[in-house]
Structure 1
Amino acid sequence: MESDTYNDTLPSVDQDLTLQRISLGIHGAPELKRDEKLNYLGEFRERIIRRLTKKQVADTFVYTEIEEALKHEKSSKMLINGTLSPQLIDKYIKLARQVDKSYTMIYDPQLTGNTGLVVVSNEAVDIKDIDVQPQDPGSKDQLSR
């Protein structure tokens, strides 16, 4: 009889699993690097090839660095901040179509930071400097679209 009493006081595997499921229901699934992903339109930093700020996306020209990033051997898609005006992003959507890359508009009120557009890979590329440097609209390094 003592062994039965002892077993009743120890949590069973079923009880642990039940507690885990309750916790998952209350708090949601654990997420790796949540703050980082909210800053980079839902992607991990190590998967980003190039990044533009919202202000850079609003420039009237297309940054050649984005075209080069879309042609990168590991590039898989372009993500665009959904809060930006369609008139501002149209030139990048056309560019993605020209180089046959998919694009996705990201609408998430929890997004933080000033990221306007990222070109990403499905795997880590660990590019040290992902930020495109702002340039003068008259610069010859830009494409008009």
Structure 2
Amino acid sequence: MEEVEKYLKDHVFGNPQLKPEEKSKYLGNFQERVAIALTIVESKNLGNIKTVEKVIDDNPDYHMYINGDMDQLIQGKYISLAASKDFKFTIIAKDNVRVEKVNTDNDMGLVIADEHSPISKPVIL
């Protein structure tokens, strides 16, 4: 009977998740898998596109995640870059969120991560 109670307590708000704050911060990724993460302000700085391009060239099997709440002009620059390199990307939109969260300039705008395993050396800006 205790097992049933424990199961119900653990799952009453959905399946338990591992490090949900970390995954939320890095657009659905664990920090250990992130090669580069740019805040919205850093993403707006078009000088960082060269750095992102180098990460893409060095790691063609990684995946780019773009914050869907970021300015569409900036999104377009990174989408064009990913498309020109035939690089996988996903736009992360926060539909179905009960509490509306307004993004700040310090929220992540772009993340490039390995989908499957931790990386050995992240890019530090």
- Report what 1:83 is aligned to: 69
- Give the share of equivalent positions with the same residue, in percent: 26
Q: Using the alignment, how far apart are the partners of 2:58 and 2:10 within structure 1?
A: 39
1:56 aligns with 2:50: no
- Please report the RMSD computed on the Cα atoms of aligned residues, expressed in angstroms: 2.4
Q: TM-score, normalised by structure 2?
A: 0.77
Q: Using the alignment, how far apart are the partners of 1:115 and 1:43 within structure 2?
A: 11
SS at match of 2:62: strand
Q: How does 1:50-129 map to 2 (within 5 A)?
A: 50-61=36-47, 63-73=49-59, 75-108=61-94, 113-122=106-115, 123-128=117-122
Q: 74-83 or 92-101, which moves further after superposition?
A: 74-83
Are the equivalent residues in 2 in contact too, given 1:41–1:79 (CA < 8 A)?
yes
Q: TM-score, normalised by structure 1?
A: 0.68
Q: How many residues are paired up?
A: 117
SS at match of 1:127: coil
Q: Which has the larger radius of gyration?
A: 1
- Tell me, which stretches of 5 or more residues in structure 1 are unaligned? 1-14, 133-145
Q: Which has the higher contact order (CA 8 A, sep 6+)?
A: 2
1:37 aligns with 2:23: yes
After TM superposition, give the deviation of residue 131 of structure 1 in Å. 4.1
- Counterpart code for 1:76: Y
Q: Using the alignment, how far apart are the partners of 1:37 and 1:88 within structure 2?
A: 23
SS at match of 2:12: helix
After TM superposition, give the deviation of residue 58 of structure 1 in Å. 1.8
SS at match of 1:41: coil
Q: 105-114 or 51-60, which moves further after superposition?
A: 105-114
